[in-house]
Amino acid sequence: MASRRISNSPDVLASYRRAGQASADAAGDVIEGHVAGTAAAFFDVDNTIMRGASIFHLAVGLARRNYFSGREVWGFGVKQLRFVLSGSENLEDMASATTAALAFVEGRRVDELLELGEEIFDDSMVDK
């Protein structure tokens, strides 16, 4: 099944803007009281170092901890399969994942999210 492309869809772009703002807000929470470093790096591991989308593996780890239902993970799995088989992102699927991720992190403390992320990485992702 070929992935459907959407160029500059207002809903998709708005979703990415919300994600960027949420990331900036969360980073601000962490940085307060800490001396900022002089360098940073970002590595895109999806379908390179790790097969598929890393956010899917994170969602499975969260489901194992009862943060997501089996039905929600099933939906994530369908999108993961589409991504793995097509080798490229579907903007609607990415927007949906962004919305789900933002809903999950809303109202949670940064240190709680960091701890969950580290646990799930160690348990489920390090060998992918």
Residue pair 91/16 in contact (Cβ under 8 Å)? The answer is no
Query: Looking at 11, 25, 29, 44, which residue is catalytic?
Result: 44
44 is catalytic: yes
Residue pair 22/105 in contact (Cβ under 8 Å)? The answer is yes
Residue pair 64/72 in contact (Cβ under 8 Å)? The answer is no
Task: Give, rounded to a whole angstrom, the gap between the first and last alpha carbons of the chain.
Answer: 25
Query: Looking at 46, 93, 111, 123, which residue is catalytic?
Result: 46
Query: What residues are annotated to the active site?
Result: 44, 46
